[in-house]
């Protein structure tokens, strides 16, 4: 991931800050994925919230081996719906939703679709697009300026994770990607 183009990385960091400013929050404030999705007018639901969904289909989608975290469905021109797996930890679905929003913000187009258990379609993106979405998703959850703020206050990685509603894995990823590796 370190090979991700510096211009894309800067664009992602700037986009994370721009969206926080639009929402009138600081780089050090948590940004829940649902709040960002609401601002972007992208509904976020779990399969349990799909009207009229068959109970058997819910069982398939929410099985331990269902093999999906979140997906974005197009609902027409410039409209999308994100469906997330509520069986994952809240920190994971925060990351998953941010990742899906990142694809939309970056204007990524899928290269193909795969059918998941339960009949839902999952999109597949180019590797470079996945890397950029992963990076932007991380910037949306924990901006570099937010990490700087946290380290200036002597916060541990776990405290940073708790503050931003992120997983410890996401905090480590952001530290690695922003040069805060030495702070661990």
Q: What is the pLDDT of residues 105-162, one digit of tens each?
A: 988 666 555 565 555 555 655 677 888 889 999 999 999 999 999 999 999 999 999 9
For the chain, the structural domain boundaries read 6-178
The mean pLDDT value of the chain amounts to: 87
> Does the structure show a pLDDT above 80 at 64?
no
Specify the DSSP element, H or E, that contains 45: strand 44-45
Residue 183 to residue 123: CA distance in whole angstroms: 36
Q: What integer pLDDT is reported at residue 16 of this predicted model?
A: 95
Q: Looking at residues 6-33, what average pLDDT do you find? A: 96
Q: Looking at residues 10-39, what average pLDDT do you find? A: 97
Q: What integer pLDDT is reported at residue 180 of this predicted model?
A: 80
In angstroms, the Cα distances linking 136 to 32, 87, 145, 150, 167 are: 15, 24, 14, 19, 16
> Does the structure show a pLDDT above 90 at 1?
no
User: Rounded to two decimals, what is the model's pTM?
Assistant: 0.86
> Does the structure show a pLDDT above 80 at 2?
no
Q: What integer pLDDT is reported at residue 38 of this predicted model?
A: 98
Lowest mean pLDDT among 3-7, 39-43, 83-87, 97-101: 3-7
> Does the structure show a pLDDT above 70 at 181?
no
First to last CA, the chain: 19
């Amino acid at each position: 991931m370190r090979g991700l183009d510096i211009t894309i990385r800067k664009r992602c960091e700037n986009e994370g800050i721009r969206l926080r400013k639009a929402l009138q929050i600081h780089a050090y404030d948590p940004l829940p994925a649902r709040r960002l999705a609401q601002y972007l007018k992208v509904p976020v639901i779990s399969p349990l919230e799909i009207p009229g969904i068959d109970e058997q289909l819910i069982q398939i989608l929410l099985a331990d081996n269902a093999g999906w975290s979140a997906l974005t469905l197009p609902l027409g021109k410039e409209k999308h719906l994100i469906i997330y797996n509520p069986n994952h930890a809240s920190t994971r679905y925060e990351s998953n939703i941010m990742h899906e929003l990142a694809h939309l913000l970056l204007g990524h187009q899928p290269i193909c679709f795969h059918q998941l258990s339960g009949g839902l379609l999952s999109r597949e993106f180019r590797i470079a697009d996945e890397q950029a979405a992963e990076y932007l998703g991380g910037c949306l959850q924990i901006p570099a300026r937010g990490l700087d703020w946290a380290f200036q206050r002597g916060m541990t990685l776990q405290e940073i994770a708790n503050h931003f509603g992120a997983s410890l894995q996401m905090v480590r990823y952001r530290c690695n990607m922003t040069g805060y590796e030495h702070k661990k």
